[in-house]
Structure 1
Amino acid sequence: MMFAKQLVGLLVIVMAIGCTKMEGQNKAANQDTTKKDWALVIHGGAGTISKEKPDSVVKAYKSDLDEALSVGEKILKEGGSALDAVESVINYLENNPKFNAGKGAVFTHDGGHELDAAIMLGNNRKAGTITGVKTIKNPISLARLVMENSKHIMFAGEGAEEYANQFDLERVNQEYFYTESRHKAWKRAIEEEKQDGAQSSVIEPGIPGDFFDEKKLGTVGAVAVDKDGQIVAGTSTGGMTNKKFGRVGDVPIVGAGTYASNEVAVSMTGWGEKIMQAVSGHTVSAYMKHKPATVQEAGNYLLQDVLNEGEAGMIAVDKNGNTYLNMNTQGMFRGTSDSEGNRKVAIW
């Protein structure tokens, strides 16, 4: 009799565990598990975005986002790799002075430019990152070379420049990165700092001065999945205006601003220190795997429950081509496209 009661109790426990596991699986199954041939998501910075600008300015930014999407779409439609698509999209954004990466990079406290970038493959978690480079026209391309050719993952400052000497990468002088709006933002930051005598005058990562409240957030990034199921994340940035003493933000930190796993590829934009504290990219991936959860649920968890309002924006794609692009800021330059004809660009 006692044995029978114990057996019944054990069966109840097993059934309860099974039901709990099934509930979690059903929750994760709410998303579309049909594999898309390819999907692409891009961002060009998140922050306080004024809606008071002329239609011509808004159209110009949307046109550039549209062109960036087209660059990646062409590669993916023709059966190319997500890695090539992500690098090419970010190259376009790095070459566009409207964005805080490459040509449009913000100024450091010393009046120069220091750039960071990272790229990562989800299927094998290979990654390459660089930080504090000063002569690399397209930092994301150097990050890819690190990933593909080095036993190390990250190179910094002079070491990154020396590593780049091994390759046929386009190099530029510091004057190349100059833009008038960034220079004006830097001068204002310096004046504010003199008046305040406080680190609080540092402008947190700059976005184009003709469009944004310059005291908010920046960076560019792309995530993609291709016909072979490879998911890739890439991010590139000029950092924050008036940054000091070799400051490193979230972008080149694997698991923070850039991350890719079997579950998802993530690129963040926003206040780098907050993104690092939340280990944001890895948090999204782990939430999806262990909850389990959809990419939408994981993204909302990060932006709504972990980070505070006004701190970040995020783009992501999972292995099936389900995409996520959202922010807890007022707006984010963003766009998405996939093999099923879903396509959009947005700011607010």
Structure 2
Amino acid sequence: MHKVAFLPGDGIGQDLKEIVKLFRDKIDEKYSFSLELNELPIGGNAIDSFGDPLPADTLKECRNSDAVLLIAVGGPKWDNNPPNLRPEAGLLKIRKSLDVFCNIRPIKLSKHLTHLSCLKCETVDKGLDIVILRELTEGLYFGEPRGIYTQPDGSKVAINTMSYSSTTIEKFAKIGFNLASSRRKNLTSIDKANVLENSRLWREVVENLSKSYPEIRLNHLYVDNAALQMIYDPNQFDVIITENLFGDILSDEGAALVGSLGLLPSASIGDKKPFLYEPVHGSAPSIAGKNLANPIATIFSIALMFRLSFEREDIALDLENAVEKVLEMKIGTADLKMKNTVGTKEFANEVLKNL
């Protein structure tokens, strides 16, 4: 029995939790692989029940699990809360507490969904398959000193510090090289080495590390050019590695290439398990409880969990292929603008039939 800390969270997270249970049962039946889903509070629901977006018991159970699967947190009900009592605070805290440092964001567009992309059909006629890796623990978001200070003349100055250690860069970049080795052997490192000392160190460390991976084609791009190239010719990319701020921005640009946040999973991994898995989409309170949520990102997050935490590539591929078969039949939730529009449960059941 494999223990999964299951955090449905808020909004459509409550709708999608039933879908997760259906897939747990099907996977147990088909592969004799048992998951113990331990449902735990986080986010707004946890604030309402316990006065804390990440209760101590939730964190304890997460640390004692083999993997953590989170759906979504947040909603307008809690928008005016102080920062430490907002649902998102629970998400930030769990990432930090689990010591995850690498966010993995697959940007994958099915050839049956190219009509959703913001790009011309001829640019993405065969779909997209990119993976963006973002470093999570250093850089501008965490550097010290930081703050807003009042000067003697009464004016204010804001300070943020961008810092990176060579140790962190190398540890993170190794994940990118290893992932590229298992894919198309093409790695792009994104920085701003023409301006920032941080990026010069980043490029130096990545370049030196590349000598240990002679089979990998390494390319360096400045972040502004990378943003342009992702629109101009996204299929040139295989695996992308970049620092925290650049990764935050570029991974959202990648989501725009796909056309629906309901399609994208993510994983946050560290030196040791448990790893954290979550769909990219938010809690979408406006459609909660209406059987409208797209379950694909959740299904793909489950697939990532089997691939990275349980090393069951066969189950991961079967899940992804089952989704592809349903899309091939032009069946999809409303956001996918398919010929046959169905609800959350109906789409999930079609995937289960094809698993």
Q: TM-score, normalised by structure 1?
A: 0.27
Higher helix share goes to which structure?
Answer: 2
Q: TM-score, normalised by structure 2?
A: 0.27
